[in-house]
Chain A
Amino acid sequence: MPTGIRSYNYAQDMAIFRTRAHWVWLGVLLACLFTGPLYWGNYWLGVANLIGITIIAAMGLNILTGYCGQLSIGHAGFIAVGAYTAAVLTNRFEMPFLVGLICAGFSSGLVGMIFGIPSLRVKGFYLAISTIAAQFIIIWVINHWTPVTGGFNGMSVPPAQIGRLTFISQGSQFYLIMIIVMIVVFLAKNLSRTRAGRAFVAIRDNDIAAQVMGISLFRYKLLAFFIGCFLAGIAGSLFAHWTGFLNAENFTMMDSILYVGIIIIGGLGTIVGPIFGVLFIRLLQQLITQISPVMEGTLPNLPAGFTTGIGPMVFGIAIILFLIFMPRGLAHRWSLVRASYRLWPF
């Protein structure tokens, strides 16, 4: 809060947007975002859609890992559950998109709770192993439950449709995805300020102390798994309708690791962290994709295909550098920028 601004009642104190400047910033951001389809091409809209879907999934993992401290390395598996739930419901049972979307969230959440049960007894590396098991078991089931999932051949997914609105173009999907992203971010922000959110943080910081204070580990750990995986399911549903075709190979172990990398880079336990992390990773991927052919063309004396290793190397180096120099992620850097803005121009 800038100097001189104060709250006169509890509602003002709890408001997310507390000053006129906040509202102006929000308006500018939304105006830029929602006029994007007017001047972005299909390509950038596609990238924006992927970013939006990834933000939802990363937000879920951040609630689970960043807030509640339950490490999950099976997030891509939970996304797959949501994606296939939506695909099966909308394709085979011709149910509406919104029904598929909500059911995708709930099915992922329930599966997440099942795999979260070990978190009551184990934590840290041991919990990570149990979530890795989730990744492999879920993918195995998808591949072998052929009558439902299409097995290795995969299955097609119809475009998202709400009433008479069909979201086929990247532009129309952009609006759909961004609205859901905003809802998710808003809910996540509020969740972090609720009793449950504070319980998550207490469990993350010291679960024994939390239990002594009367926080039910059983309830809140499973709740964290449910919410984290619910959002993964929502992201999976949107991913399914975005690509139009599903195959279990789309949800790999590497993707699960990528999500952990995203929330580390963005900043664990913050709302803006996953957004920054996703923007950083996805735009970095696009940058590398764009510059590789140019570099190959302009540096013909180097061995052919030398750019092909840039992507994996940069990702690995970025993770290491962030862990060493910015362990609190981009979100912390953003908070420093905001702090300096409050004093600007002094």
Chain B
Amino acid sequence: MNHRRLPKVALAIVITLAIAVVPLLSSGCIGAGPGPAPSGLKVGFSICYTGVAAEKGRPMGNAKLDCMKYINEELGGIDGNQIEVIWRDNEYDAAKAVTIINELMNEDCLFFTTNSSKMMAASMEIANRASFPGFTVFSSPVCTHPPQHIYGQMPDYGDDWASFATYYMDNIWQGSGKPKMALHLLDNPTGSGARDAARALAGDLGIEIVADEEHSATTISEMESLTRIKALNPDVLYISSTPQPTSIIVQNAVDLGMYPGVAIGCGHASFTSVLVELAGTDAEGVFGVYPTVNWGDNVPAMAKMTEYCQELHPDDYGNMDYITSWAEGLIVAEILRLAVENVGVGNLTPQAVEEHGFKKLDGFDAGGLHGPVSYTQGDNRLSKSVRVFQVQHGDIVPVSGWVEAPLIKYEDFDWFGQ
């Protein structure tokens, strides 16, 4: 080699090595793979802080981080061990969710949580392959059927439909014969979860599904689809969506003279204070299924949650998603407490936490914020209870007690997943 080139080659090697070593230094570790947490109790949160689901992801992210702060600072962590949180904004982007789940496993997190069925769907295959447990707050049946290492904090979108349909038949339907129900579903798993449940149970409940319309998360008018629905003269309209599209559907239904007249029911992803804010008086009388209590209810966790919310994130006060994720934080702590109690903090692995944390949950009371949290063999929904609410005078008011959503064995149906 030409001697004058040697310095250039040496420089090239140094620069290339420097570039290659940057990730090593950034990651702060060498090697990978699940193993005991080196210190503390690490959990990972993949949060939809930005992106199209930010209206829900942000209050939920705020709530779970606030709850972790409360547990660490006021309760002293878990048996004196602080919970170490690694949170990342997944931007509601599947590719980013995949890199995040890899990071959380790489960082020796014991388990992870996320907010939405889409983000869990993006993460779950990698997590299941690695036996890395996690749970999602909002879930569609596809996340937990068949049950593997992914759990649902609350009943899924299909359970919402089943619970509302049961309530409707028992308490609202006054006519004879089968009531006619129209579905208006978001064009993603939030909507398809409700569709799957209707497909599985409508016949048994004595409900005729007359329409199955779809809308997008960014819809600005549903006059056309509602006109088609109106022509079918339904008795009840069920919406499984998020607050903004739901508010548009409700307002359009009012404009078309459909509502009041038909009953309107919503799944829990639709039914928050944001819906009432957006739809205004048009939302009056709308029913909704929700798995938590409401703000101001007299339950043990309400005072502390309200204190933290008003101090740290006052804008989220009144948003039921904040309640949901505060409860999520309490469940995270309970899973860790059970695992530490059963195997000791030094022996914790993701697999140990699943066996001795997740699967030991038995009637845990999340401060009364939602139904009891239990693991049942073959049913990866941790809480199975919902309540029916109604918008009355601008407030979201419970109109039923806790209703346990039955397990729907979707995997037994030939059409599920097809």
**B16 pairs with A250, CB closer than 8 A:** no
Asked if B19 CB lies within 8 Å of chain A CBs, one says: yes
**A150 pairs with B94, CB closer than 8 A:** no
**B270 CB, nearest partner CB in chain A, Å:** 16
- Stretch from B124-132, B168-176, B231-239, B324-332 contacting the other chain: B124-132
Asked if A175 CB lies within 8 Å of chain B CBs, one says: no
- Kindly state the separation between the CA atoms of A45 and B54 in the bound complex, as whole angstroms: 28
Residue of A nearest to B104 (CB): A43
From A40, A245, A304, give the contact of B121 (CB < 8 A). Answer: A245
Q: Which residues of B contact A25 (CB under 8 A)?
A: 12
Asked if B103 CB lies within 8 Å of chain A CBs, one says: yes
**B360 CB, nearest partner CB in chain A, Å:** 28
- Kindly state the separation between the CA atoms of A305 and B49 in the bound complex, as whole angstroms: 8
**A205 CB, nearest partner CB in chain B, Å:** 34
Q: How many B residues touch A, CB cutoff 8 Å?
A: 64
Q: Which residues of A contact B195 (CB under 8 A)?
A: 152
- Kindly state the separation between the CA atoms of A178 and B137 in the bound complex, as whole angstroms: 36
**B49 pairs with A42, CB closer than 8 A:** no
Q: Produce 1/0 per residue, B135-153, CB < 8 A to A.
A: 0000011100000000000
From A47, A146, A312, give the contact of B418 (CB < 8 A). Answer: A146
Q: Which residues of A contact B140 (CB under 8 A)?
A: 153
Residue of A nearest to B103 (CB): A43
**B125 pairs with A150, CB closer than 8 A:** no
**B189 pairs with A50, CB closer than 8 A:** no
**B121 pairs with A43, CB closer than 8 A:** no
Q: How many A residues touch B, CB cutoff 8 Å?
A: 56
Q: Which residues of B contact A168 (CB under 8 A)?
A: 129
From B31, B87, B88, give the contact of A41 (CB < 8 A). Answer: B31
Q: Which residues of B contact A157 (CB under 8 A)?
A: 125
From B13, B29, B30, B50, give the contact of A28 (CB < 8 A). Answer: B13
- Kindly state the separation between the CA atoms of A285 and B32 in the bound complex, as whole angstroms: 22
From B94, B98, B312, give the contact of A304 (CB < 8 A). Answer: B312
- Kindly state the separation between the CA atoms of A75 and B39 in the bound complex, as whole angstroms: 45
**B122 pairs with A247, CB closer than 8 A:** yes
**B94 pairs with A243, CB closer than 8 A:** yes
- Kindly state the separation between the CA atoms of A335 and B141 in the bound complex, as whole angstroms: 52
Q: Produce 1/0 per residue, A279-292, CB < 8 A to B.
A: 00000011001101
A249-B89 CB under 8 A given contacts A43-B103, A152-B188? no
Which positions 305-346 of chain A face chain B at CB distance < 8 Å? 305, 307-309, 311-312, 344
**B18 CB, nearest partner CB in chain A, Å:** 10
Q: Which residues of A contact B96 (CB under 8 A)?
A: 285, 289
Asked if A32 CB lies within 8 Å of chain B CBs, one says: yes
**B62 pairs with A286, CB closer than 8 A:** no
A156-B19 CB under 8 A given contacts A50-B99, A151-B192, A308-B89? no
**B9 pairs with A293, CB closer than 8 A:** no
**B300 CB, nearest partner CB in chain A, Å:** 25
**B144 CB, nearest partner CB in chain A, Å:** 12
Q: Produce 1/0 per residue, B25-36, CB < 8 A to A.
A: 011011111000
**A24 pairs with B58, CB closer than 8 A:** no
Q: Produce 1/0 per residue, A18-31, CB < 8 A to B.
A: 00110011001100
Q: Which residues of A contact B91 (CB under 8 A)?
A: 311
Asked if B191 CB lies within 8 Å of chain A CBs, one says: yes
- Kindly state the separation between the CA atoms of A244 and B121 in the bound complex, as whole angstroms: 9
**B49 pairs with A243, CB closer than 8 A:** no
**B198 CB, nearest partner CB in chain A, Å:** 14
- Kindly state the separation between the CA atoms of A20 and B8 in the bound complex, as whole angstroms: 12
Q: Which residues of A contact B8 (CB under 8 A)?
A: 21, 344
Q: Which residues of A contact B27 (CB under 8 A)?
A: 40-41, 43-44
**A23 CB, nearest partner CB in chain B, Å:** 11
Asked if A39 CB lies within 8 Å of chain B CBs, one says: yes
Q: Which residues of B contact A155 (CB under 8 A)?
A: 417
Which positions 2-43 of chain B face chain A at CB distance < 8 Å? 5, 8-9, 12-13, 16-17, 19-21, 23-24, 26-27, 29-33
- Kindly state the separation between the CA atoms of A245 and B62 in the bound complex, as whole angstroms: 28
Asked if A225 CB lies within 8 Å of chain B CBs, one says: no
Q: Produce 1/0 per residue, A34-75, CB < 8 A to B.
A: 011001111111110010000000000000000000000000
From B50, B88, B103, give the contact of A46 (CB < 8 A). Answer: B103
**A40 pairs with B49, CB closer than 8 A:** no
- Kindly state the separation between the CA atoms of A268 and B180 in the bound complex, as whole angstroms: 56
Q: Which residues of B contact A250 (CB under 8 A)?
A: 94-95, 122
A309-B50 CB under 8 A given contacts A28-B16, A46-B102, A250-B94? yes
**A152 pairs with B102, CB closer than 8 A:** no
Q: Which residues of B contact A147 (CB under 8 A)?
A: 418
**B302 CB, nearest partner CB in chain A, Å:** 21
- Kindly state the separation between the CA atoms of A7 and B49 in the bound complex, as whole angstroms: 57
**B9 pairs with A153, CB closer than 8 A:** no
Q: Which residues of A contact B30 (CB under 8 A)?
A: 39, 41
Residues of B within 8 A of A (CB): 1, 5, 8-9, 12-13, 16-17, 19-21, 23-24, 26-27, 29-33, 49-50, 54, 58, 61-62, 86-89, 91, 94-96, 98-100, 102-103, 105-107, 118, 121-122, 124-126, 129, 140-142, 187-189, 191-192, 195-196, 312-313, 416-418
Q: A247-B94, A250-B122 are in contact. List 6 more A-B contacts (CB 8 A).
A: A21-B5, A32-B19, A41-B27, A41-B31, A159-B129, A293-B87
**27 A-B contact pairs sorted by A residue (CB < 8 Å):** A29-B16, A32-B17, A35-B20, A39-B30, A39-B31, A40-B24, A42-B32, A42-B105, A42-B106, A44-B23, A44-B24, A46-B103, A47-B23, A153-B416, A153-B417, A155-B417, A170-B102, A243-B98, A244-B126, A245-B125, A250-B94, A250-B122, A308-B49, A311-B50, A311-B89, A312-B50, A344-B8
8 closest Cβ pairs, A-B complex:
A244-B125, A46-B102, A152-B192, A43-B103, A250-B94, A42-B106, A44-B23, A32-B20
